Amino acid sequence: MSNRKVAIVGMGGAFPDCADINVFRDKLFSGKSLIREWPQAVAYNKQIRSTVSGFIEEEEMGLEPIYASPVNGFPETYVDKLDRIPAINLATSDLGCIWAMLGAQESIKQAGWTKAETESEQTGVVVGSGGGGNVIARNAWHAFFELGKKSRIAGSHTVDRAMAYREAANISCLIKNKGVCESIISACATGLGNIGYAYRLIRFGLQDRAIAGGVEGTSIETFIGFDAMQVLSKGFAPAESSRPFDIRRNGFVSSFGAGIVALEEYEMAKARGAKIYAVIDEYFNNSDGDGNMFYPSYDGQLRLWKGLSANAHIKPDVVKVHGTATPVGDILELISVVDTLGEDGYHVSAPKSQFGHMLGGAGSVELITAIMMLENQQVLPCLNSDTLNPELENFQKAEGWKGSTKPATAYRHLIPQQTLSKEINQIVCLNYGFGGTNSAMAISRDI
């Protein structure tokens, strides 16, 4: 079986400064920023450069941490004060896993799947994260190596709470599906990549349904790693820190969250009267192939667009860009979009301007924002894109440059600074990651 149509029938997750997905939607389309000064970062004073994040407090998610001894401040487990997740599942979960399970529950509820459908051999779970359980591992090793405690003090769940595919495993144990259970880990393309892989499983008849997405659980360990690279935004008020395309951009805002969606074979969803939030037109991913771990590739992005367009009609009304607010990445991405689609007929949306870069969760949370744009028939604003560079970027002046030789200001009309109402039938979502990995997905309204 091949070329089956795939529908998105549910969505959920965890979002900074938001009690639920409805609050998330309201704040986004009201043009609000979800970025705040992060007390965990502030506590390290001069050891750290950046102190802002789109972080999530346990209380905001209805969770109460139960702290372990002798490692003060380390949550050994959590209590779900709203009784959504059983204690046995909480015991094997870090914070990101709990977010993922809550997102899975909400997605299944919206999808309207029965217990039999959820637990079927034809239902898969494909969820991953960018990080590697740093919070769990650091505290376990601290107790053993620094405090000299016996290994059992690390806890009997150190392995399962820190393993690479912990989110998928915990969701699967919670919902008891009997199909695929996997994680696709590809840096900041992880969230979209997992959904893309799940889409292919359904499209080619290997599964009928899937819970898919990406997560980045709160982690000061992850934060300081990027701070050490000097790639995080600094020097601005929290709400002004993430500024894709702006001439004063100086790095991204490291944030945390989870985005989970429920996918289903289209005809099955239609036959049972499910609400179809969007249809996936196509997914494509590739690698830059230039040997550079960090620098974005114009050629790689052009090939990404070519691959996305090979087997589907691609004419987006909105392009949801990766748009991290890094000095080179933003404008190179903008040019690759313009050189593919032309200079008119669509708008560019950069949701990271409102909540920062959720790393492994970025692609899936941003896909959810794209679904919301389809539903609302509105383009989310690019906050803080106040002034675009009137001069050429350095890479545009380099010998052998093959792309546009217009400055960023030439494309001001593509980047709305406030929520914009318009007819939206198709959106293309783009996400990239370290190592030259690129992902693209086109979604449309079910018309």
**What's the start-to-end Cα distance of the chain, in Å?**
24
Confidence of residue 397 (pLDDT cuts 50, 70, 90): very high
pLDDT band at 1 (very low <50, low <70, confident <90, very high): low
Contact 159, 120 (CB under 8 A): no
Residues 134-167: tens digit of each pLDDT: 888 888 888 888 888 888 777 788 888 889 999 9
Catalytic one among 97, 322, 382, 429? 322
> Residue 71: inside a domain, yes or no?
yes
Compute the distance between CA of residue 194 and CA of residue 198 in angstroms, rounded to an integer: 6
pLDDT at 63: 96
In this prediction, residues 251-275 reach a mean pLDDT of 98
Instruction: Please list the alpha-helical segments (H only) found in 310-416.
Output: 329-341, 352-355, 362-376, 394-397
Higher pLDDT, residue 86 or 148: 86
Q: Which of 64, 61, 60, 36 is nearest to 50 (CA)?
A: 36
Asked whether residue 416 is domain-assigned, the answer is yes
CA distances from 353 to 1, 42, 55, 117, 152 (A): 41, 21, 14, 38, 44
Q: Cα separation of 216 and 95, whole Å? A: 9
Q: Examine the pLDDT at 361 and tell me if it is beyond 70.
A: yes
Set 18, 97, 173, 188: catalytic member: 188
Among the listed ranges 119-133, 136-150, 201-215, which one has the minimum average pLDDT value? Answer: 136-150
Nearest alpha carbon to residue 213 among 84, 53, 62, 106: 106
Range in 36-45, 61-70, 95-104 with the lowest mean pLDDT: 61-70
Q: Tell me, rounded to whole angstroms, the distance of Cα 382 from its chain centroid.
A: 17
**pLDDT value for 213:** 98
pLDDT at 70: 59
Q: Give catalytic status of residue 322 as yes or no.
A: yes
Residue 1 lies in a domain: no
- Tell me which of 148 and 339 has the higher pLDDT: 339
Whether residue 163 is contained in a domain is answered as yes
Q: How many whole angstroms separate alpha carbon 163 and alpha carbon 151?
A: 17
Using DSSP's 3-state secondary structure scheme, residue 445 falls into coil
Q: What is the predicted pLDDT for the residue at 53?
A: 98
- The two beta strands, 52-53 and 75-80, are unpaired
> How many structural domains compose the chain?
1
* Three-state DSSP state, 78: strand
Half-sphere exposure of 205 (CA within 13 A, CB side): 3
Band (365; pLDDT cuts 50, 70, 90):
very high
Q: What is the mean pLDDT of the chain?
A: 95
**In what helix (H) or strand (E) does residue 172 lie, and over which residues does it extend?**
helix 166-175
Least confident range from 135-139, 181-185, 277-281, 342-346: namely 135-139
- Residue 439 contacts residue 363 (beta carbons within 8 Å): yes
Instruction: Let me know if residue 356 belongs to a domain.
Output: yes
User: What pTM was estimated for this model as a whole?
Assistant: 0.97
| Domain extent at residue 345 | 6-400+407-444
Q: Of 9, 20, 13, whose CA–CA distance to 118 is shortest?
A: 9
Query: Please, are residues 136 and 170 in contact by the beta-carbon 8 Å criterion?
Result: no
Is residue 162 in some structural domain?
Answer: yes
Is 188 part of the annotated catalytic residue set?
yes
Instruction: Report pLDDT for 136.
Output: 83
Q: Which of 18, 347, 357, 382 is catalytic?
A: 357
- Residue 124 maps to a domain: yes
Going by their DSSP bridges, the two strands 318-320 and 75-80 should be labelled as: unpaired
Q: Provide the 8-state DSSP code for 122.
A: T
Kindly report which listed range (67-71, 176-180, 213-217, 406-410) carries the lowest average pLDDT score: 67-71
Q: Can you tell me the distance from the alpha carbon of 380 to that of 382, in angstroms, rounded to the nearest whole number?
A: 7
Question: Where are any strands of DSSP class E within 274-366?
Answer: 278-287, 318-320, 347-349
- Of 221, 197, 200, 82, nearest to 139 by C-alpha is 221
CATH number for the domain that contains residue 150: 3.40.47.10
What percent of the chain clears pLDDT 90, i.e. is strictly above it?
89
What is d(CA 407, CA 411) in angstroms, rounded to the nearest whole number? 8
